[in-house]
Structure 1
């Protein structure tokens, strides 16, 4: 019997939905319909509403399997009496906003984010936000057991164009934020390149920026194409970032922006073709979020730089709270802090997931980019550029990420024991262990001894120990890597393959 729990990926459901990836399709119509029934059972329990009459919005990104999966959801939901709003091509964040604005009881987005074209998945939203990991486990358990509400013939399916309303909200946000003399065209004179990577983000160029007067000449890959023929739609992907950087320079644009497939992440490029990504993106988002929130706390993932911490705390006067990798981990931590009375306006991961308190702590790439564009327009009135906002951000000279597979079937205990062994080793050698790290172990070294840090942690989902190294000096990454290799060679942790570290140093 098929194990539904294998489809769980953190707070999402993901599987193989199309041929072409060399793996059998496991996100079949039957599987999708059983998951849909399981979701309705979850809704009856947690929303305290009967499946019959439940209002559900459904959207999808541009993947080639989207129509098939949507049809399976429609069949299942209407079989049990739900009223379904077919939102068609949509961004993931818009499907949360649809719950609030249509309004409806819940929503489903069909997406697998930046994963290959042959994969797809499901994300679920209620007015409280995206479902969390335990919720996904519960839904999959219902699906495994064939749990379903009572069947009825009262279900309905209605097409709804919510993306037009979502784009209108973003346009009005820019008009108010810029407050230009020509209120209707606050981006007149701006040239902005948009790279949608053939995902769901093409609307941002044509439906948000262009009507506000922006010149979008040079924008690329706006048309949805579920095979992603030009590059992976992912702001973390080197090829994707190189492509949007080149397009921005070629067009002579003031700014470039890039989205992942379902637009819950975004990145930017300045007029010189320099990436506003990772630590730079976190810095700019922090500067924007701390306006009106003096002394506020910014929650980030664990691999942010020392220079970013200095920038947030000394330049901006805020507090930097490093937490675990995983966008939902970062968001949940920010929500927890706010509930405890801590002023925390932003949760952001270096991957480009950014969630602002003012926007329901929703990770929305279009919302983040919109905030950046508003700030760019405000700064231009003062004769400044976005660069001026992060002039005091000290950036690393070198950085490297390596990944060490854990070969044991029960991998987590081996990974955790390796991290514990490194902590003991560090203490024995008087290494400086970061006191504010909340994931794995982060160790810093002085200017004459590597001038940087490394972080060894467990992957969020996979049997892997990722290693991040960063140095403020040329050659420093190698010095730090050599220190770590001595640890591995002496301790020889069982079932951890650190050949990548040896290979890096041999080069």
Structure 2
């Protein structure tokens, strides 16, 4: 059991198999859940120097089938420990953080039961205090406590209060948009006249259509998959998923909508589609919110992950900002933004190409709904100038070709094996004509390729959690990606521990 707890840690959260599935054994059991909940309470006691009977803890779930059962086990454990518990029902990850901030709650901690975009048979836990989401070291401490301490319960059970917190969170978003647009003619319904469709992928984000957009006057006819269904029967709720993006694109075009919005399962990520059906995610989404932020905070630093395009950096620079390309991982970009601010360097946005966007004005919380609210405010204002949201990124340079490859590492010691390959490639690149190492790179190896030798760039890095070398390639010319891969294949072929079939077949 103890070893099992450590295996459930997924960097800054807990993830595991919660429902029986062929060839997948359940490892996120009720026993594990209770142990981890106990560890969180004891960790909070130490962090806040409080007795557990004084602690207030909020808990919510996304739409996963295993959510109610896991929530019941956690609530039972927290109550037995004497804590005051707020059962927030179906909620979003960002909303759960807000339970630690809002005056009427001021919870000492919050737990969100979710596994983000993973298949329905997964589930997990994310933890918050008013300082933000728990770090990797915090999760390890929680598990250490759960693994080593003996249980002790309070004589009196703590009270449990059921609250419709997503309704309160929706009001925050509604008021934010009203005040942001500040329409003298139509303050209450600043989105009147807009047709906006939402695709929640049957996750927890369906509330946004009727509790936010419709309240603000938008026509949400054509919104789809907004009813929670933990089987995710229509598509995976993930803005990076092609099927999911095709679904919201089709809905926009079919309903002649002005905008399409898509969320992941727990609404900490989002993307949009414009009225012409053009997907605005990844680099384009970063460009949109960067444009908005830089108008409000000129010369701000924009922190992104490592796989962003050269064109995005040029776009941010033209707007007067500084592009700081850092590492993959939403916590990495957020913590880097916080570090820069602590050094006196203004940074108002940290965003990953996956759709995790965190703004300084919003506690550096990666919140898909807040990101969309910022975009909606700008859309309403642009409309007064007969402009659309896509006008913000007319100057964004889009690569002619881009491909992502996932190269499986078959060696048992995959981290050391992958690191050695990256180091060797770094040495080899120095002898390849037309290729040069990109300076100030924080992850893996990034290489610039001149016009004759690929006309673009590639990044090779180790996956954060899996035995995989991730290879991202962009080119500004036809067949440029092939020119780059043709030079990489002989190098990778030397390593028997790699599966490069996908790269060869490209």
Q: 1:107 aligns to what SS in structure 2?
A: strand
Equivalent residue for 1:103?
A: 106
Q: Does 1:45 find its partner at 2:46? A: yes
Q: 2:198 aligns to what SS in structure 1?
A: strand
Q: 2:453 aligns to what SS in structure 1?
A: coil
Q: Does 1:273 find its partner at 2:274? A: no
Q: 2:191 aligns to what SS in structure 1?
A: coil
Shift of 1:436: 2.4
User: Within 1, Cα distance between the matches of 2:339 and 2:152?
Assistant: 34
Q: 1:24 aligns to what SS in structure 2?
A: coil
Equivalent residue for 1:71?
A: 72
User: Mapping of 1:209-220 within 5 angstroms?
Assistant: 209-220=213-224
Equivalent residue for 1:190?
A: 194
Which residue, 261, 282, 303 being the options, matches 2:307? 303
* Alignment check: 8 A CA contact 1:443 1:453 kept: yes
* Alignment check: 8 A CA contact 2:248 2:261 kept: yes
Equivalent residue for 2:479?
A: 475
User: Within 2, Cα distance between the matches of 1:253 and 1:189?
Assistant: 11
Equivalent residue for 2:388?
A: 385
* Alignment check: 8 A CA contact 1:189 1:215 kept: yes
Shift of 1:428: 2.3
Q: Does 1:119 find its partner at 2:132? A: no
Shift of 1:149: 4.9
Equivalent residue for 2:9?
A: 8
Gaps of 5+ in 1: none
User: Within 2, Cα distance between the matches of 1:350 and 1:360?
Assistant: 20
Which residue, 407, 416, 440 being the options, matches 1:404? 407
Equivalent residue for 1:90?
A: 91
Shift of 1:31: 1.0
Q: 2:469 aligns to what SS in structure 1?
A: strand
RMSD: 1.2
Q: Deviations over 1:139-195 (max 9, x none)?
A: 122222354454332311110122111100100111111112111110010000000
Shift of 1:246: 0.3
Q: Does 1:155 find its partner at 2:158? A: yes
Equivalent residue for 1:232?
A: 236
Query: Compared with structure 1, are the counterparts of its residues 409 and 144 closer, same or farther at alpha carbon in structure 2 (3 Å cutoff)?
Result: farther
Which residue, 475, 485, 499 being the options, matches 2:501? 499
Q: Deviations over 1:373-420 (max 9, x none)?
A: 111111111111112100110001111111112222222111111110
Q: Does 1:452 find its partner at 2:452? A: no
Shift of 1:499: 2.8
User: Within 2, Cα distance between the matches of 1:293 and 1:284?
Assistant: 14
* Alignment check: 8 A CA contact 1:41 1:149 kept: no
Q: Does 1:249 find its partner at 2:253? A: yes
* Alignment check: 8 A CA contact 1:79 1:155 kept: yes
Equivalent residue for 1:395?
A: 398
Shift of 1:267: 0.4
Q: 2:451 aligns to what SS in structure 1?
A: coil
Shift of 1:42: 0.9
User: Mapping of 1:14-29 within 5 angstroms?
Assistant: 14-29=15-30
Q: Does 1:135 find its partner at 2:138? A: yes
User: Within 1, Cα distance between the matches of 2:502 and 2:421?
Assistant: 16
User: Within 1, Cα distance between the matches of 2:35 and 2:25?
Assistant: 19
Equivalent residue for 2:316?
A: 312
User: Mapping of 1:27-38 within 5 angstroms?
Assistant: 27-38=28-39
Equivalent residue for 1:368?
A: 371
Shift of 1:43: 0.8
Q: 1:345 aligns to what SS in structure 2?
A: strand
Query: Compared with structure 1, are the counterparts of its residues 146 and 503 closer, same or farther at alpha carbon in structure 2 (3 Å cutoff)?
Result: farther
Equivalent residue for 2:294?
A: 290
Which residue, 468, 492, 496 being the options, matches 1:488? 492
Query: Compared with structure 1, are the counterparts of its residues 312 and 158 closer, same or farther at alpha carbon in structure 2 (3 Å cutoff)?
Result: same
User: Within 1, Cα distance between the matches of 2:151 and 2:321?
Assistant: 49
* Alignment check: 8 A CA contact 2:492 2:498 kept: no
Shift of 1:81: 0.4
Query: Compared with structure 1, are the counterparts of its residues 293 and 313 closer, same or farther at alpha carbon in structure 2 (3 Å cutoff)?
Result: same
Shift of 1:49: 1.4
- TM-score, normalized by length of structure 1? 0.97
Gaps of 5+ in 2: none
Shift of 1:470: 0.7
User: Within 2, Cα distance between the matches of 1:146 and 1:22?
Assistant: 33
